Amino acid sequence: MSSQPALAQRYERNRDETPLPDLWQSSDNRCKPHFHSSIELVHVTQGSLTVYLDDQKYIVQENQLMIASSYTVHRYQSDESNRETIIIIPLSFVPSMQKTLRDHAFNQPIYDLTNDIRTRTVLELLSDGWTEYNVETKKGLCYTLLGLLTANVGLSPQKNSTRTTQMKDMLIYLQENYQSNLSMEALARQFGYSKSRFSHLFNETLGCPPGAFINALRCQHAARAMLESDQPLLEIAMNAGFECPRTFYRVFKQYYGVTPTQYCNAHRTAQPSSP
């Protein structure tokens, strides 16, 4: 079973930092709000998955495909048992489609694959042979998949509402400033709201309080630093934005389910392989 922190880590490793696509299997998926330039596809193969795209809620059923267009804010939650295949395709990996996919959104965020044997076949080919394929094969299949979706689903110019644009601005600001000392009062003023209104709007749209989202970013930062450097834990905690070691240990264990030391020991002996 996949956990929310594990998925968050997977996203942090692969978001817009690599030109290569990624694919993995997941179950009972949960993921905090995020967005990126890459196209994200979720093929539900069992059960159903609750998905929020910008400020809209969708239930993705078995044999349906969720399409998160470029820079669409999305998050998942599992209200029942499910299994899915997740595919991330960076726009730079499909250069001839890059500008079109950056400036346009798919007409339907949820696509039923029941009567589309061609798209199902490409998804099965990607899933079954992903670890064995070379880059050229992956590129060809990704182009084919996106070409079929473009033809069958269609594209329209990106149209973001004022609220959606502001939510993206908030996420960008938090992702760039989570290491700083952020108070709710200062954040609210930054976007022209009262503290209570800002908290309500953030929670209503993104499904979690601002403080929880900031702590998630700090925990992910600390987890990466523990695996990639030999810095002392105290220094890592401070650099991530935590005010004191006690808060760091408490929040980290709450988020990952283990202490920082346990997390570090487990992941250093079992690093995930690259695609």
Q: pLDDT band for position 18 (50/70/90)?
A: low
Per residue in 31-56, pLDDT (tens digit) is: 877 777 799 999 999 999 999 988 78
Provide mean pLDDT across the span 238-243. 95
Whole-structure pTM value = 0.69
- Between 223 and 162, residue with greater pLDDT: 223
Show Cβ contacts of residue 14 under 8 Å, excluding neighbours closer than 6 positions.
22, 88
Q: Which domains does the chain have, with CATH numbers?
A: 4-157 (2.60.120.10), 162-268 (1.10.10.60)
- Pick the range with the lowest mean pLDDT from 84-88, 143-147, 158-162, 166-170: 158-162
Encoded amino acid at 105, one letter: A
**How many other C-beta atoms are found inside a 10 Å radius of the C-beta of residue 108?**
13
Burial class of residue 162, CB neighbours in 10 A (0-12, 13-18, 19+): exposed
How many CA atoms, within 13 angstroms, populate the side-chain half-sphere of residue 88?
A: 23
The most confident of the ranges 11-25, 46-60, 119-133, 190-204 is 119-133
* Residue 192: strand, helix, or coil: coil
Chain Cα centroid distance, residue 232: 29
For residue 8, pLDDT beyond 50: no
Farthest-apart Cα atoms in the chain, separation: 56
DSSP 4-71: HHHHHHHHHHHSSS-SS-EEEEEES--EEEE--SSEEEEEEEEEEEEEEETTEEEEEETTEEEEE-TT
Whether the pLDDT of residue 70 is over 90: the answer is no
Run of H or E residues at 259: none
